[in-house]
Structure 1
Amino acid sequence: MPKGKSLLEKVDQPRSSENKKSKSKRRKKKNEIDWLTLFRFSIMLFLAGVIVFHYYLITENQLVSFYVEFWNRHKKELSPILVFSGFTLAVFLTGYRLGKRR
């Protein structure tokens, strides 16, 4: 075995360059934008806006009339979307229940 430090002594001592790299990685992560957190925040903000809007409509007794008017204006666009989503949901739920039985 060659003279000098043993293998255990080399492993126990951390290198200064490794410490610098790990610190720089930590700094970079703090400066980067976490897109998932930003997306989640925007969804929560949107839901809060929807709740406030519905609360306003309820207090003004306009909720039902708003949705009736909205349905009458956009019936041509909403009907196919609702039929497609209902059909898709029914097919996937049926497949899920049949697959779960087996």
Structure 2
Amino acid sequence: MRAAEMDGLELAAEHLLQVSTQLAPHEEGDLARSGEVSTDASRQQAAVSYDRVYAARQHEELTWQHDAGKQAKYLEEPMHTERDIMLQLLAGPLREELGE
């Protein structure tokens, strides 16, 4: 079951990465390309992160102008708007494990 939990968690995190990357501000694409999913099976955790020095500032600065379809809160917003999809992705491998 733990392996199925991690599979679902990773699927959900990969979905979040995909959606947040589409929303991330884009000048040269460095920010979007820096996104990654990291997991820790021993803690049953997954994280989505962007590793550019300006990533947090780009995320938090609501007054900056962005190209159409790009925005601040590029990671936080999809955590809310994609919640139901991520829960379904999380549950999928568990359902398979249980034979449902």
If the length of structure 1 is used for normalisation, what is the TM-score? 0.28
What TM-score, normalized to structure 2?
0.29
- More strand, by proportion: 2
Larger radius of gyration: 1
Higher-RCO chain (CA-CA 8 Å, sequence separation at least 6): 2
Structure 1 or 2: more helix by fraction: 1
